[in-house]
């Protein structure tokens, strides 16, 4: 590299459009595309584009082929698990109640505050980080969400657009259980083939091999203790080191 040319780390590039501009460009090029902006409130302000899975291939092809964006490099694909969320809301409800006023029964309206619980269904998400080697800019962050976490976990595979996605989508399939439709070789990559769980999901319960924990603390301590009571370990003989 020639001396004297300042290189800014994390430079988004001079010509990279903002997410709003990219959204407009996508909507102009792919009319049926469903694009939303997922804001990042953090100081990095790295906002991402939430795209509808039905037109993801077209959107991805556009992002790659568009001469201004030219996002030819897929740097990273990862998954996120959003579990079902229970939201408690306080609602004011007016209802009729019978009350005894001055010895006479009367029907009176009264306002009561009620706590209602609403279950917000969870989903699985993939995140694609795109850069452009040609234009030296990036990243542009794409997200896709599944319908739920249980039976409708299909998302289109972007391997046919960026070949680099192949192994990383396999990893997401393995660890999160997202099924990528159109993937050339969707098999588990880290765990063995007969494995049934998806370890990176929030509700994954890992195998109980905490029989021996010399320096257990926090969660692991609780697990180790549970193990002791389960197996009913006998106390050590007298004179043994505790």
Partner 1 sequence: MVVEEGLKIELGKQGVIVTSLQELYNWGRRCSVWPMQFGLACCAIEMIATTMARYDMARFGAEIFRPSPRQADMMIISGTVTKKMAPQVVRLYNQMAEPKYVIAMGACAISGGPFKQGYNVLKGIDRYIPVDVHIPGCPPRPEALLQALMTLQKKIDGQPLTGEGRPRFLDAEAQGEFPVPEQGEHDLEPPSNPAVWPVPLTINK
Q: Which residue of 119, 229, 238, 239 would you call a contact of partner 1, by CB under 8 A?
A: 229
Does residue number 207 form part of the binding site for partner 1 (CB under 8 A)?
yes
Q: Which structure tokens are listed for 237?
A: 């003989």
End-to-end Cα separation, the chain, in angstroms: 62
**Tokens 């903002």, residue located:** 18
Residue nearer to partner 1 on the CB measure, 2 or 214: 214
Interactions with partner 1, residue window 186-205 (CB under 8 A): 190-192, 194-197, 199, 204
Structure tokens that stand for 69 in this block: 């964006």
Distance from C-alpha of 95 to C-alpha of 42, rounded to nearest angstrom: 43
Contact segment (CB under 8 A) with partner 1 among 87-95, 96-104, 148-156, 209-217 equals: 209-217
Our finding on whether 221 is near partner 1 (CB under 8 A) is no
> To the nearest whole angstrom, how small is the minimum distance from the Cβ of residue 197 to partner 1?
6
Q: Do you know the residue count of the chain? A: 242
Structure tokens that stand for 32 in this block: 């049926």
Cis preceding linkage at 139, omega within 30:
yes
Chain residues binding partner 1 by CB under 8 A are 190-192, 194-197, 199, 204, 206-207, 209, 211-212, 214, 220, 224, 228-229, 231, 233-236, 240, 242
């Amino acid at each position: 590299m020639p001396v004297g040319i300042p290189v800014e780390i994390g430079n988004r590039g001079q010509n990279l459009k903002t997410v709003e501009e990219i959204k407009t460009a996508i909507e102009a090029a792919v009319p049926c595309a469903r694009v939303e902006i997922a804001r990042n409130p953090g100081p990095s302000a790295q906002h991402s584009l939430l795209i509808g899975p039905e037109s993801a291939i077209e959107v991805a092809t556009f992002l790659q082929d568009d001469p201004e964006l030219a996002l030819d490099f897929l740097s990273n694909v990862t998954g996120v698990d959003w579990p079902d969320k229970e939201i408690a809301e306080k609602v004011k409800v007016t209802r009729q109640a019978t009350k005894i006023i001055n010895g006479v029964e009367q029907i009176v309206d009264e306002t009561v505050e009620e706590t209602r619980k609403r279950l917000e269904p969870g989903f699985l998400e993939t995140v694609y980080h795109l850069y452009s080697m040609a234009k030296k800019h990036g990243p542009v962050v794409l997200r896709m969400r599944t319908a739920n976490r249980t039976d409708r976990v299909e998302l289109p595979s972007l391997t046919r657009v960026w070949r680099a996605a192949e192994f990383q989508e396999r990893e997401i399939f393995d660890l999160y259980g997202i099924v990528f439709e159109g993937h050339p070789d969707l098999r588990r990559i880290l765990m063995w083939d007969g494995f049934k769980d998806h370890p990176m999901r929030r509700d994954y319960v890992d195998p109980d091999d905490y029989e021996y924990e010399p320096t257990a603390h926090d969660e692991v301590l609780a697990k180790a203790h549970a193990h002791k009571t389960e197996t009913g370990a006998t106390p050590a003989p007298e004179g043994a080191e505790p």
